[in-house]
Structure formats: structure tokens, C-alpha cells
Amino acid sequence: MKYYKVSQYDGSENKIVYVPNIDKSELDNANGIVRQIDDPKIKEYLNFYEKPYPIISDKLKNILRQYLPHSIGIPLSLANPSLKLVVIYWLLSLELVENQGYESNRRLIVNCNDIGNRKMFKTRTGRRDHVIVDFDIAELILRSSVSDIQINEISVI
């Protein structure tokens, strides 16, 4: 089975939203989390952000929900008062799978025994989480015309 790392598109540096820290106690709030992002330079929001937490847009959530209903976590509302805009994102609730490091070409390596039958999971290098999806989910994302997402194959041993 092939697996792929989902990441922000490289050309999206000017659209990066820095989400303030979220306390662990807030993760139990079924009503979600609200954060104010007052940055007038950000006029467009991405469908996927890697940092500081993997979050997905409402559009991407609706695509993934049919295959991964339990992986969609609590809502995160980002309010931008200068634009009079509120954007809904979703924190991903994914199982952590250990990785085996990187190959020489900077490709993540994951052991197939650790993956099991998961369609989507996260792995961590240092303090950074990486979202990994199987071929079916990668194809679903690519065919759905969701922009600003890169999908790169990882090595499974």
C-alpha cells in the first residue's frame, strides 16, 4: 500500500495563519475553540495548515468525513475583525505512528507493521507533526479540486 504526506503548498508562505496556543483543557470543549487573527495582510485562507497543529478547512472536512468520520476533531473558528471574516477549521484527531526517520532524499520512512489498516494518521519528527494518508485518501483530495495542498509519497518498509 502506498502512503503520502499531506503538506501546505510551498507557495503559500504569505498566507500562513499563526494560530495562538491551544491549551489541552480546551480540546475537551465540544463547542469548539475561537481565536482572533487580526492580520489584514491575510486575505485568503488555505485549506490545510501544518503548523502549529494540523488543521483542515470546512471544505476539506466535508470531503474527508465520508471516509474518516472519527478523525475530524473539534472546530476552530478563526476570526479576522479587520476583514469582518470568520473561517471555520477543524483540528485533526489522528493516531500517532512512529516513523523511522528520513531517506537521503528527505522522504519519510514508516514501518508497515506500525500503520496497520489506518487510512490517515500522523507521525512526528522533532516537534513537528506530519499528516499521512493512504492512496485512496490522496486520490480523493487531488480529484476534489482542493487547492494549496501538496501530496508527496513516503517510504513504507
CA dist., res. 114 & res. 111, Å (int): 5
CA dist., res. 42 & res. 15, Å (int): 6
Contact 154, 1 (CB under 8 A): no
pLDDT score recorded for residue 20: 62
What percentage of the chain reaches a pLDDT higher than 70?
Answer: 80
CB atoms < 10 A from the CB of 101, how many? Answer: 8
Q: Supply 25's cell numbers.
A: 483543557
Residue 47, classified by CB atoms within 10 Å of its CB into exposed (0-12), middle (13-18) or buried (19+), is buried
Q: What is the pLDDT of residues 99-133, one digit of tens each?
A: 766 665 677 778 778 888 888 888 887 777 888 88
CA dist., res. 148 & res. 20, Å (int): 22
Which pTM value belongs to this model? 0.79
CA dist., res. 39 & res. 83, Å (int): 9
Measured in degrees and rounded to the nearest 5, phi and psi for residue 95 equal -70, 145
Q: What is the pLDDT of residues 7-47, one digit of tens each?
A: 877 665 555 666 666 766 676 666 778 777 776 666 677 88
